[in-house]
Chains A and B, each alone.
Chain A
Amino acid sequence: MQKHQYEVVVVGAGGAGLTAALYASRNASTAVISKLYPTRSHTGAAQGGIGAALGNTEEDHPEWHAFDTVKGSDYLGDQDAIEFMAAEAVDAVYELEHMGLPFSRNPDGTIAQRPFGGHTNNETGKPVRRACYAADRTGHMILQTLYQQSIKNQVKFFDEFYVLDLLIVDGKTAGLVAMELATGEMHIFQAKAVIIATGGHGRVWETTSNAYSYTGDGVALALRKGIPAEDMEFYQFHPTGIYKMGILITEGVRGEGGVLINGEGNRFMETYAPTVKDLASRDVISRAMYLEMKAGRGINGKRFMNLDVTPEVVNHYAEIDGRKNPDGSPYRVTASDILAKLPDIIDFCETYIGVNPVTDPMPVQPTAHYAMGGIPTNKYGEVVVDEKNTVLPGLYAAGEVACVSVHGANRLGTNALLDLVVFGKYSGLKAAEFANSEAYVDLPPDPEAYAMQQLNAIRNSSGKENMITLASEMKSVMAEHVGVFRVEEGMAEAVEKVRELKERFKDVRVDDHGSKYNMNLIEAWELSNLIDIAEVTAVSALARKESRGAHSRDDYPDRDDDNWLKHTLAWMENGGVRLAYKPVTMTKYTPKARSY
């Protein structure tokens, strides 16, 4: 066992973790712990863009961005935080540019922007170009740029260290326990402030755009320490994942003019969102696809749709829509425009399904994508642990793992990357500020005891249950019943099933008994995290008797602001889940019916 002491310890080296570390390290000794090499973080997979009302090609305002986000969140987002994020967005993007991020450019040398779902000109209701992009690799560029700056600023990294436990002593953060994957050795980090930035948990579902590493470690860590998870029932299904594989096809494809076509050859989004059509927000489109497929209008009756970005189709519909370039000329694209703007998408399609999107449509289906819910925080990234938003001293969370909540019931595309850099920055600054004024909390006598006990339970289990079987049962029941559409009985069944799996997990089989790179053991641990999260998600969903954003129920098809305009808080207690609710922060946007 080794001991380390840093004023601030950041868990996770994705967009949120690295931003936090860059800012925290300016004023406090800082270390970053990550189970993956930083550049393997899932931020690198983000494609389409980061939202900021720069107004480089057309009129735009942070206020419009804020309103779109509130509306996109189906009014569940906390409006103070949303206004804060939209206002900070512009500087955040310039700051990334100053760090060297190679954005795509307009002819005048400014950062290029493209339309994205739910981002509108608030006066005309038409789509607005707000997503700042670097081809279709925006997340890759953000992750690389932040990592490069971390090297420049000599941030201390502990790569391939897996965090197992958070140390909280008398309601104060004391540090954490991690395992060095290369050796299996335990490391205790004593810290004044800990920032959790471990990303999401899409691996709960069958078809997902998420990495193998997206196992919800951060939320599970918190839940086990009596910290609640907020709004877990709101999980986003992105409408366009590659059929069966789930690999994401960015919304940027539709931003560039791509359209969704059903089995009858129709552009069905006209019916569901007459103004912005294929650029409606994600919950709306995923639901529409689901309904179309249910009505037998999938391609060849199967459960997928075509996403068509071939120049003929794009130009055909651009003409119908009367879409214009910023200079007023009619919007038209050529094959080489598509190639230049979506190179990676084309590569994915050619590699995995042998389809060239420039000449043929892509088969797509909704794919599990993004966790709106997570560890509750305020707009400075401070973790809040109850209905009254009481701060837990020294604990911070940022990125997909956190629930600020700026995304409410449904996140708008491009707002996640924005969330990372804005709240990553403030949690980093706040954590360093906190560390400068506070002393270290003494570690408990046996800091690694709890983690060891859990590890040993897995190591010494009877070995009757196969991990893959448990995981696939969980994934299919969650996809079936806690997916795009939900009903009472289904969700109840899912809760039941997940609890059964939780029991069976106690007999999980681990083949590897070594200590070096024992990925087998780590994967078992990750599966236990996923099962906990599945349970909390299903229970939170079952309780919410309305449809809002990504949570849409056949048995309660309408939004119910009178009873349900509130955040869910879920605690893991006594082998079950306890729920409570807290109000949504409102500023100037009153809930309205939502149409696109």
Chain B
Amino acid sequence: MQVTLKIFRYNPEEDRKKHYDTFTLEAEPTDRVLDLLERIKGNQDGTLGFRRACAHGVCGSDAIRINGVNRLACKVLVQDLKTRQVVIEPILGLPVEKDLIVDMEPFFDHYRSVMPYFVNDDPPPAKERLQSPEERERFDDTTKCILCAACTTSCPSFWVNGKYVGPSAIVNAHRFIFDSRDQAAAERLEILNEQFGVYRCHTIFNCTDACPRDIQVTQAIGEIKKALAKGSLD
């Protein structure tokens, strides 16, 4: 079948103005949107800029807006779209560098600001630190994050206020805060307790809807708000 892709274009070197280009091509229902972008780039316009690597939803390179919502290009099939008119745009709230490529640095800055690493200053045991399957389960959901930014850039709070650390950073703080082996929960919570921490979240839920890893993002944020309000992690 034929599908039409209307793609957002911006080339900093040639035109100062953003615009949309339309491409029409043959597609199978089981083609990924990423496959279509690859084919357009290969056969119609080599200058089209977008990121990709793994092509099956595990590396987090290709978060874009497809028909008005954030998705991974490699995880949406043509048959899932339920339309043959596809609008492709870069994710919102990060500066567009070229076409669908956005500047990810502000996103990673937020990520780095929440101490997204394991802290335990006790001398390690000879073998593993023990952890029961239940304790492991407590933070399983948030270990799945691939830092694709689909959540943060779907959040209206982040759009209007780039200082908000955003759902992705909170998810990654959650992963450690609720890890029974970690010792820096208090510091991370203190960071999230600040003006641009969890209180910028108004449970809008776009983030959870956008997450390609099906992480319960809003729930993770809620658990942190609750931990702060209660002053306890249980």
Contact = CB atoms under 8 A, between A and B. Distances in A.
B26 to A, nearest CB: 14
Contact of B58 (A44, A108, A111, A466): A44
The CB with the most chain A CB atoms within 10 A, among B50, B52, B58, B126, is that of B58
Contact of A109 (B49, B77, B130): B130
Given A102-B143, A351-B75, A520-B41, A151 B14 contact: no
Interface in B104-119: 104, 108, 112, 116-119
Contacts of A97: 128-129
B61 interface: yes
A97 B136 CA distance: 13
B123 to A, nearest CB: 10
B117 A141 contact: no
Contact of B59 (A44, A135, A466, A515): A44
A352 B60 contact: no
A353 B28 CA distance: 13
A511 interface: yes
B21 to A, nearest CB: 13
Given A98-B124, A100-B181, A517 B49 contact: yes
B54 A100 contact: no
Interface stretch (A34-42, A329-337, A390-398): A34-42
A40 B52 CA distance: 9
Given A514-B47, A517-B98, A100 B146 contact: no
Nearest to A43: B59
Interface in B154-204: 175-176, 179, 181-182
Given A137-B144, A211-B55, A351-B75, A36 B131 contact: no
Contacts of B119: 152
Interface string B44-65: 0111011111111111110000
B97 A44 contact: no
Interface in A285-330: none
B56 A348 contact: yes
A104 interface: yes
Interface in A104-132: 104-111
Contact of A516 (B56, B98, B124, B176): B98
A436 interface: no
A211 B47 contact: no
B231 interface: no
Contact of B182 (A100, A104, A212, A514): A100
B143 A151 contact: no
Contacts, number: 156
A92 interface: no
A516 B108 CA distance: 21
A393 B17 CA distance: 51
A512 B46 contact: yes
A514 B49 CA distance: 11
A511 B146 contact: no
B130 A110 contact: yes
A182 B51 CA distance: 12
Interface in A69-84: none
B8 interface: no
B12 interface: yes
A105 B132 contact: yes
Given A102-B179, A351-B57, A352-B30, A520 B146 contact: no
Interface in B192-234: 214
Given A100-B181, A107-B133, A347-B214, 17 more contacts: A37-B147, A39-B146, A39-B147, A40-B51, A40-B59, A40-B60, A94-B124, A97-B129, A98-B129, A105-B135, A110-B127, A110-B128, A144-B143, A151-B116, A347-B57, A511-B46, A519-B49
10 contacts: A36-B53, A40-B60, A110-B128, A111-B128, A144-B145, A212-B55, A247-B56, A352-B30, A468-B39, A516-B11
Across chains A and B, which 4 residue pairs bring their CB atoms closest together, nearest first?
A100-B118, A511-B46, A109-B130, A468-B42
